[in-house]
Amino acid sequence: MTPPVGIIMGSQSDWATMKEAALILDQLGIAYETKIVSAHRTPDRLWDYGKSAVSRGLKVIIAGAGGAAHLPGMMASKTRVPVIGVPVLTKALSGVDSLYSILQMPKGFPVATMAIGAPGAANAGLMAAGILAVSDPDLGARLDAWRDALSASIPEEPQDD
């Protein structure tokens, strides 16, 4: 059975970042699949994944890529399943290349673009949870509890290191 969330990435090297999204989904009890789908190296795989996303029952796709990061945008062009884009940090341009590649979509094919790197991947997991929680009150309660726990963990005053 297809899980509600697909986490896709352009390369094995993206997994260190994208697993932050998986970790959040694990914490919230949301099932997901993980796939390497490269816009440039495996374009047919991208095409097939996007073409079958609705019929397979995917509800949200989290797509991470670095550099010339065309994966999230191309996936958004191929399916109406919401795509959350994660710009992966790059050595050459610090992920700004990834960010701009994902962010500046033409009108008609949006990608919900997160911050660069691991914080963006974690937020992608939370964004996916929020989307699914619209029609899943039990998940909504788990997400509320997760957010409350984070707030409660923040001290009111700074401490010396």
Q: What are the binding residues?
A: 11, 14, 41
Beta strands per DSSP E along 67-124 = 83-88, 112-113
Percentages (nearest 5) of helix, strand, coil residues in the chain:
50, 15, 35
Q: Is 66 in the site for ligand RP5 (CB under 6 A)?
A: yes
Total residues in contact with ligand RP5, by rule CB under 6 A: 9
Binding residues for substrate are 11, 14, 41
Nearest distance, CB of residue 36 and ligand RP5, angstroms: 9
Beta carbon nearer to ligand RP5, 6 or 10: 10
Residue 17 · residue 43 · CB < 8 Å: no
Nearer to ligand RP5, 118 or 139 (CB): 118
Q: What residue type is 159 in one-letter code?
A: Q
Q: x/- contact string, 22-61, with ligand RP5 (CB under 6 A)?
A: ----------------x-----------------------
Residue 120 in contact with ligand RP5, rule: CB under 6 A: no
Sign, Cα dihedral of 153, 17, 116, 2: negative
Q: How distant is the alpha carbon of residue 156 from its chain centre?
A: 31
What single DSSP character describes residue 13? G
Query: The sheet that has 83-88: what strands, in order across it?
Result: 32-36, 5-9, 60-66, 83-88, 112-113
Query: Minimum Å distance from CB 56 to ligand RP5?
Result: 23
Q: Measured from the CB atom, is 59 or 70 closer to ligand RP5? A: 70
CB 83 within 8 A of CB 113: no
Site for ligand RP5 in 73-112 (CB under 6 A): 88
Would you tell me which residues interact with ligand RP5 (CB under 6 A)? 10-11, 13-14, 38, 65-67, 88
